Chains A and B, each alone.
Chain A
Amino acid sequence: MNLAGRVDAVVIGASAGGIEALTALLPALSPGLRPPVFIVLHLPRDKPSVLVEIFGRKCAVPVREAEDKETVAPGTVYFAPADYHLLLDRGPQISLSADDPVHHSRPSIDVLFESAAEIYGDRLLGIILTGANEDGASGLAAVHDAGGVTVVQSPQTARAPHMVLSALKLRPADWVLPLDEIAEMLRTLNAAAVMPVN
């Protein structure tokens, strides 16, 4: 599946087992990446977020913690900060919120996916990975309903399958894939992939 030119942004949600899953996915992104990538990974709230440190070293693209009211830069990976919801506004611009947790989670995957679907409409790729709760299911449904592309990690390959099963229960996904094939798909987002080959 070649997504080059099909999407303007990517949203990814993961919970239990998520660091491992993202470790398999994010190195697929290369400096030619154009769409920004927004990620919500559930973590204990009092644990200082070390995601930027962990993935900054593994990735060839800039990896940042999302900051309130910053203008979204292309080809950048943004992690939601611990204890804040990550939302998108027109611009596109980042907006954080300290509203109530959703599915006991702040940041919540649903909150990110629903607000991204409002901004990017059918130009959005939504990916739900391993996790042990139901967060992300209605978010991915919102991506689907807006005409975006939806991908769910295949349940048998997910360390905790509850989250992907909940998402699949709500809407059929366009693609149900193991991590290595999701990584292949992400590779097609790198700008080099759309360059004509002589």
Chain B
Amino acid sequence: MDAEVNAATAAGREFDVEFRLLIDAIYHIYHYDFRGYAPASLRRRLRAALTRFNCRTLSQLQDKVVHDSATFPALLDFLTVQVSEMFRDPAYFLALREHVVPLLRTYPFLKVWVAGCSAGEEAYSLAILLQEEGLLSKTIIYATDINPGTLQKAAAGVYDVERIAGFTANHRKSGGRTSLSDYYTAAYGRAVFNKSLKDHIVFSDHSLATDSVFAEVQLVSCRNVLIYFNRVLQDRAIGLFREALCRQGFLGIGAKESLRFSSHADAFLDFVPGEKIFQKRAEL
């Protein structure tokens, strides 16, 4: 028993060391910076990756990552996989409609940033919401992510038809005033979202860990992204949102995310308490 435990502890220590080495190798070779990610989720994903890439240890995986150029893009999918759905947390979208949209109407043009857009569900949800509110024609949505493969999927806007029922139920609960089916064409088990939405979305590569602000926006929506970061990287990301937002612009984060550990917390007002929608304070 004791020998087994000692072996398990040693294996844990080795995993820790190999974990850091792999993350460093990825940074130095591919310039993807996972060093500020919360280790717990990343370790879990890497353990899953060991099975997928048929490796016994992270050192073996590192060998493939460093020497075989096909491995890293596939590993990136593992490290960045994000599960979302359209109108996830419908109450958030309802709160945007009721409390934020009236103020967004006052701008001649709108820019919205969906940070960490993954396969695009959040960006299309916002586009539909803004269309319903009569604002899409004057809006550009910047949807950014670090994974080029995911961005391609997001730009295609194609989802399995089995997911549409869930999306539709969420859309209805979010205060949707049209039918979700107005926005996609279903064929061969897939639903393709309309070009009229895509025309207002720019999908692009952007890292909250290493890139800087690229536009001034009125609304940032970044949900269930910050939980994957440690406090230092969360603070960096929130700093970028603060810088990108116009005076009195809005920031929406995930239901279980908070600004409380950020040095930028005082720059924001809790605009819709309970729905994690904040407003950047007017600067003095």
Chain A residues near B (Cβ < 8 Å):
67-69, 81, 83-85, 87-90, 95-100, 111, 114-115, 118, 121-122, 145-147
Contact = CB atoms under 8 A, between A and B. Distances in A.
Contacts of B45: 99
A51 B8 CA distance: 34
Contact of A69 (B39, B231, B254): B231
A99 B12 contact: no
Contacts of B234: 69
Interface residues of B, number: 30
Given A68-B258, A69-B261, A98-B83, A147 B40 contact: no
B158 to A, nearest CB: 20
B12 A121 contact: yes
B20 interface: no
B228 interface: yes
B60 interface: no
A84 B12 contact: no
A88 B228 CA distance: 12
B25 interface: no
A98 B234 CA distance: 16
Contacts of A147: 1, 4-5, 8-9
Nearest to B6: A147
B43 interface: yes
Nearest to A121: B9
Given A146-B12, A147-B5, A95 B231 contact: no
Nearest to B9: A121
Interface string B55-87: 000000000000000000000000001111000
A98 B43 CA distance: 15
Given A69-B231, A69-B261, A122 B44 contact: no
8 contacts: A67-B258, A69-B230, A69-B231, A96-B256, A98-B84, A98-B227, A147-B1, A147-B4
Contact of B44 (A98, A114, A121): A114
Contacts of A99: 41, 44-45, 81, 83
